[in-house]
Amino acid sequence: MKTNRLLLLLTVIMFGITTNAQEQQNGIESIFSESFRNGTPVQITNNRDKGFSIKFINAKDVADSPIGSGTASYTTEDIWYMVGNAEAFKLYNHTSGKKYALKLEGTESGAAATMAKAEEATLLTLTAKEDGSYTISPKVNPSMSFNMFGGAGRDIKLYSSEDAGGCWNFKVIDMSKPLKLKYNAQLEGGYDTNNKIGYIAITIDGNTSNTLLDKNTLPRETTCYLPLDATFSIATGLECHGWKMDINGGKSMTDHTLPAKGMEVAINISVDTDNRYQYLYYSPDEKGIPYRIPAIVSTANGYVFAINDYRPCGNDIGFGEVDLVMRHSTEAGKEWDGHSWTAPVTIADGMGKEATETWLTGFGDPAIVADREHNEILVMSVCGNRVCWHGNYGAGTAENPENPNRMARLRIKFNEETQQWETTQPQEVTYDIYPLFKDQNGKAHVGSMFIGAGRMAQSSMIKVGDYYRIYCAVWAVETGSYRHHNYVLYSDDFGETWNLLGELGNDFNDSPAPYGNEPKCEELPDGSVLLSSRKGYGRYYNVFHYSNFEKAEGKWDGAVSTDVAGNLKFGSNDTNGEILRVGNILFQSVPTGNSRSNVAVYYRPLSDDPATYTPTELSNKWTKIEVSDRGSAYSSMCILPDGETIGLFYEEEPGGYSMVYVPINIKESINATTYTQGIKHCPECEDSK
Condensed to tens digits (0 to 9), the pLDDT of residues 364-414 reads 999 999 999 999 999 999 999 999 999 999 888 888 899 999 999 999 999
Of 4-8, 264-268, 288-292, 651-655, the poorest mean pLDDT is in 4-8
Mean pLDDT within 117-139: 94
Confidence band, pLDDT 50/70/90 cuts, at residue 550: very high
From the number of C-beta atoms within 10 Å of its C-beta (0-12, 13-18, 19+), residue 349 rates as middle
> Where on the phi/psi map is residue 308: left (φ > 0), alpha (ψ -120 to 50), or beta?
beta
The model's pTM? 0.87
Query: SS3 sequence, 455-511?
Result: ECEEEEEEECCCCEEEEEEEEEEECCCCCEEEEEEEECCCCCCCEECCCCCCCHHHC
Mean pLDDT within 443-447: 92
Confidence band, pLDDT 50/70/90 cuts, at residue 332: low
From the number of C-beta atoms within 10 Å of its C-beta (0-12, 13-18, 19+), residue 509 rates as exposed
Distance in angstroms (rounded) separating the CA atoms of residues 626 and 608: 27
Q: Would you state the pLDDT for residue 17?
A: 41
Q: Would you state the pLDDT for residue 331?
A: 74
Q: Would you state the pLDDT for residue 9?
A: 37
Task: Check whether 22 has a pLDDT greater than 80.
Answer: no
Taking residue 465's Cβ as centre, other Cβ atoms within 10 Å add up to 11
Q: Would you state the pLDDT for residue 29?
A: 52
Confidence band, pLDDT 50/70/90 cuts, at residue 334: low
Structural contact between residues 42 and 173, judged by C-beta atoms closer than 8 angstroms: yes
Structural contact between residues 192 and 234, judged by C-beta atoms closer than 8 angstroms: no
Task: Check whether 15 has a pLDDT greater than 50.
Answer: no
Mean pLDDT within 192-218: 92
Task: Check whether 689 has a pLDDT greater than 50.
Answer: no
Q: Would you state the pLDDT for residue 155?
A: 86
Confidence band, pLDDT 50/70/90 cuts, at residue 661: very high
Confidence band, pLDDT 50/70/90 cuts, at residue 278: very high
Confidence band, pLDDT 50/70/90 cuts, at residue 335: low
Q: Would you state the pLDDT for residue 26?
A: 39
Nearest one of 266, 182, 271, 172 to 225, comparing CA atoms: 172
- Percentage of the chain with pLDDT > 90? 78
- Percentage of the chain with pLDDT > 70? 91
Confidence band, pLDDT 50/70/90 cuts, at residue 663: very high
Structural contact between residues 323 and 176, judged by C-beta atoms closer than 8 angstroms: no
Task: Check whether 565 has a pLDDT greater than 90.
Answer: yes
pLDDT tens, position by position, 566-598: 999 999 999 999 999 999 999 999 999 999 999
Of 62-71, 520-529, 657-666, the poorest mean pLDDT is in 62-71
Task: Check whether 681 has a pLDDT greater than 70.
Answer: no
Mean pLDDT within 175-203: 93
Confidence band, pLDDT 50/70/90 cuts, at residue 1: very low
Q: Would you state the pLDDT for residue 30?
A: 72
Q: Would you state the pLDDT for residue 432?
A: 97
Helix, strand, coil percentages for the chain (3-state, nearest 5): 10, 45, 45
Taking the alpha carbons of 74, 76, 80, 81 in that order, is the dihedral positive or negative? positive
Q: Would you state the pLDDT for residue 268?
A: 97
Mean pLDDT within 74-93: 94
